[in-house]
Amino acid sequence: MNAHYACNSPAHAISRRQFLAGTTAAGVGMLGFKDMLAPANAAEIRRQDKRVLVIFLAGGVSQLESWDPKPGTNTGGPFQAIPTSVPGVHISELLPHTARQAHNLAIVRSINIATDDHGVGAYIMQTGRRQTPAERFPHLGSAVAKLLGNEESPLPGYIHVSPRGDGSGFNRNDAAFLGPRYASVTLADGAPPANLLRPATLTELADQERNELRDRLNTRFAQTRRSADTEAYTNSYGQAMQVMQRRNLFDLSQEPMALRDRYGHHEFGRHMLLARRMLEAGVTFTKVTHSNYDTHHENFDFHIEQLGEFDKTFATLLDDLEQRGMLEKTLVVVMSEFGRTPNINRNYGRDHWGRSFSIAMGGCGIRGGAVIGSTNANGTAVADRQVNGGHLFHTYFRALGLNPTRNHHHDGRPIPMADPAAAAITEVLA
């Protein structure tokens, strides 16, 4: 749902970009990612067809209304904690369906990223680093698309299914120095990027002849003035044509009605079902944004609505992946840029809070049922096993069988893929 209670910070917004034209604006650094995979197992890891699904609860979901409830305290709010499928583990009563899937999930309750800013928090949670003037680091999706993606796949390696109004396009910024080939392709409201489909006024033969002419001109140009930008531009056309050939993936009517009912016919339900179809079709990394959790006003009413959509759909997704034999090869992560303040403000809302919040993850490489870390009695501080975005980034890579301590190279400089000051949360790894 659209939230009018949020702070309307522009820092976290997704810019509109044309799918094709956006690729020409960035220089591409040539880098050696091969160090990330030992030569003996690089091909094997790719053959395992590992996938990643990130559900991003934009705005900052309240940990107290989700993964780390504190009923009966001065910060706990009106909701109770309920038992889950894991003995002794309780989560918020707003997540009854998810509670029955807790054996497939690990919960980390002790995250401190030391910021309450939307943009900074989103950057840390998606790159595992703090922003620096000297370097931009690639998002998890871009890195995974580079390391685990099938170079012959007809589909982009990193797809972002966003709420309506966010705009379709090619968001090269999240790939940083990996280059636009590994940037996310944003599907606004789950629709294909604009202008991909052949216009009705253009015949198939004329379209084919037009593309053949473009190929000849590109080849002639590349013989004397080849660059990273022209490579990316040429690649984007080929990728766009391949997406056109797979446009049936966007047709959710091909799924049984009973399954569509379980996912839900609301926006988030449709987006999550599309994400499963994308993963099944071979997309390496899919991100689904559910917004808006920026509940400065009426936090409790809005979480009833927002988590009411999320809960059954998320539980259905986990069940669907498991029944299809996909969960053991798909790392599923539910994250936000931060949490909400334990203290309740005068508008019955919770404000930004990055000092003691939670995420959940499951599937590939994750030990289901684990609960890592804890906060104090009223959730105002981490009490045990404090971690940050760097630790999470290491953990995702280890779960996928990758070594985050290896270097890649950009302009001749070795850059550790994950923050060398952090390490994986080994307690959640299977």
User: Whose CA is closest to 317, among 306, 326, 308?
Assistant: 326
Q: How many CA atoms lie within 13 A of 82 on its CB side?
A: 16
Lowest mean pLDDT among 37-46, 112-121, 171-180: 37-46
Classify residue 56 as exposed, middle or buried by CB count within 10 Å of its CB (0-12, 13-18, 19+): buried
Indicate the average pLDDT of the chain.
86
Pairing of strands 105-111, 90-92: unpaired
Confidence of residue 69 (pLDDT cuts 50, 70, 90): very high
Both tokens of 283, joined, read 């997309």
Distance between CA atoms of 83 and 99, rounded to whole angstroms?
A: 7
Alpha helices in 264-298 (DSSP H): 267-281
Percent of the chain with pLDDT over 70: 81
Per-residue CA distances from 70 to 80, 215, 361 (Å):
8, 61, 21
Confidence of residue 429 (pLDDT cuts 50, 70, 90): very high
Distance between CA atoms of 183 and 143, rounded to whole angstroms?
A: 9
Confidence of residue 30 (pLDDT cuts 50, 70, 90): very low
Confidence (pTM): 0.86
10-428 placed in CATH 3.40.720: yes
Spell out the domain ranges in the chain.
10-428
Confidence of residue 20 (pLDDT cuts 50, 70, 90): very low
Query: Contact at 8 Å (CB) between 393 and 128?
Result: yes
